[in-house]
Structure 1
């Protein structure tokens, strides 16, 4: 049975979200594809907002970026 591949833009968004929640810099954004970069930055911004709102650890479990796929 074939495995379904994830959308590369969804993968970039999730990666950016994880970077934002963990407090990493936006300078770590991969710049290979402009569209993937936009999704990564969107995820990073949302992750940073969630970190600033205190939605890290147990309180942030209900907001799983992987569940949006």
Structure 2
């Protein structure tokens, strides 16, 4: 059987929690920030969980991710 390749772009963007959920950064935070309110930008700083329906697809692309 051949080795499975890890999608390196996903590997850099996601981290796994102790309860085996994926963490991600919020989008819409890189540019055009002057029109966004301070409150909105503050909320975008936080790390969020990946939706469970999307998580299965991400885990297929990360075959060697370490679970706890």
TM-score of the pair, normalised by structure 2: 0.31
Q: Which structure has the highest strand share of the two?
A: 2
Whose relative contact order is higher, 1 or 2, with alpha carbons under 8 Å and at least 6 apart?
A: 2
